[in-house]
Structure 1
Amino acid sequence: MISAIIFDVDGTLAETEDQHRLAFNAAFEQAGLDWHWDEALYRELLQVTGGKERLMHFIATRAPLPQAEADALVGRLHAAKTALYTEAVRAGAIPLRPGITEFVEAAAAAGLTLAIATTTSLPNITTLLESAFGARWRALFAVIAAGDMVAHKKPSPDVYQLALDKLDLPAAACVAIEDSSNGVASARAAGLRVIAVRSLYTSGDDLSAATLVLADCQNLDLALLAELDRAGLPRTA
């Protein structure tokens, strides 16, 4: 029986990716760089999970620098980008996706344990949750597993395994909510069943490895959890 729900953040709880993209571009401008990530390029770069890793991949493939210089630049840019992003979130730039608040509140009221497993950094998570739920977020979400807490990011199962360890629950007692092929692969590798919800930047991802695929978050409800308990093969809705 499912007793915990583990949520991804970017694209799942909220459509955050374009704000991340804008924050990256603002950080580039602040640093005097002529780099610009448009939507098409950012969609491509999202195949690399983790902001620092994404920056390093971009530098390695499109703006080569000596490794030491690249390492230092990535650190500075990512810190600046995080500050810009969290400032925008605090200002209310990113609401939760339609249906998420209702699903979270219903799950909590039903006594289910809620957790986060994401490749994004901890300040991004806590700022979004505080913006959405106020001080209550700490009571709503019992466990946070972030990308900077593990050695390998999605599609590695590390962050989901960390969440399971913190929850002290087996994978069979949990379900993951994801929006990307990398996220689905990560959760499945950790032994979890997965509800995938399509999002703006991952609309073209192959989500067929998920147990259930939904067009949006408005279709999330607790009845799906009972359905997953009965599910045999992944299917698409």
Structure 2
Amino acid sequence: MSGLKALIFDVDGTLADTEEVHRQAFNAAFRAFGLPWSWDQGFYRQLLLVSGGRERIRHFVDTYVPEMAAEGLAAINEIHVRKSALYARMIDQRAARLRPGVERLIDEANSRGLKLVLVTTSSIANAEAVIIANLEPAGLDLFDAIVGGETVANKKPAPDIYRMALERLGLPARACVAFEDSLNGLKAANAAGLRTVVTPSTYTQGADFTGAFALISHLGDPFEPYEHFAGAGEGDRMVTVGALRRWIDDDDDMRSLLTIGGRSIY
């Protein structure tokens, strides 16, 4: 029987399809500072390969407008602070709803005694804004911890944020499942030893998610089943605690079958 004890959720793109809200907030902040920058959706998809909003602005300046690099980190910090305030206002106005199955799985996991953690390369405040806008302030009480990008030295695809989440939980990786929507997130979770369920979002569809424990369209609801793409979960309609435990048991059985002479060939 699976020893599943906790679920670890990425926020942007995984809990809610927030990246478009982030893009609009970036552009609004640029306008507020009188900057002639505008990130369209195609360009923003490329920028998302850089984790963290402040880091994304720095990468953009260094790569595309190096003549402004002399403005320095202080200017980038000011832009990012304005962007974060604009983003929080848009989220508070319900600009991004939870994706299918998210609220259902969180409620089920909580009722069955599993621990819940949020991890985000954005700020803890941004993660809290998404939860409060969709689940009310009491929704924050469902989570045992929130680990934000400001709390780790290296952001995704480095595994730091997931290792910190496991440390906060006091659990080994084998007792947890991570939920992600991006390739950087998958790499980070896998590097921390976690099985990772990937539900691609608007900006990450079509990426190569080789190594995902399960690759599905979303978590599914009774009247909105997910589409299965690869890995565990074929034949199911939605992600439940029971389904996750069954998938883990099947995976463990497969690993045992692929171990020869005490050496794993999995």
Choose 1 or 2 for highest CA Rg: 2
Work out which of the residue numbers 165, 168, 174 in structure 1 matches 2:176.
174
Identity across matched positions, percent: 43
Gaps of 5+ in 2: 221-237, 256-266
> Counterpart of 2:87 in structure 1: which amino acid?
Y
Listed as ranges, the matches of 1:80-229 within 5 Å are: 80-218=82-220, 219-226=238-245, 227-229=247-249
Under a length normalisation based on structure 1, what TM-score does the superposition of the two structures give?
0.95
> How far, CA to CA, are the matches of 2:95 and 2:140 in structure 1?
21
What secondary structure does 1:116 align onto? strand
Under a length normalisation based on structure 2, what TM-score does the superposition of the two structures give?
0.85
Matched-pair contact (CA < 8 Å) for 1:95–1:132? yes
> Counterpart of 2:250 in structure 1: which amino acid?
R
List, as ranges, runs of 4+ consecutive aligned residues in structure 1 with deviation greater than 4 Å. Answer: none
- The structure, 1 or 2, with the larger RCO (C-alpha pairs under 8 Å, 6+ apart) is 1
Matched-pair contact (CA < 8 Å) for 1:2–1:229? no
2:55 corresponds to: 53
> Counterpart of 2:207 in structure 1: which amino acid?
D
> Counterpart of 1:230 in structure 2: which amino acid?
D
Matched residues, number: 234
Cα RMSD after superposing both structures: 1.4
Matched-pair contact (CA < 8 Å) for 2:178–2:195? yes
> How far, CA to CA, are the matches of 2:63 and 2:142 in structure 1?
41
TM superposition shift of 1:229? 3.4
Gaps of 5+ in 1: none
1:34 corresponds to: 36
> How far, CA to CA, are the matches of 1:128 and 1:163 in structure 2?
19
Q: 1:149 to 1:23 in 2, by over 3 A?
A: same
> Counterpart of 1:222 in structure 2: which amino acid?
V
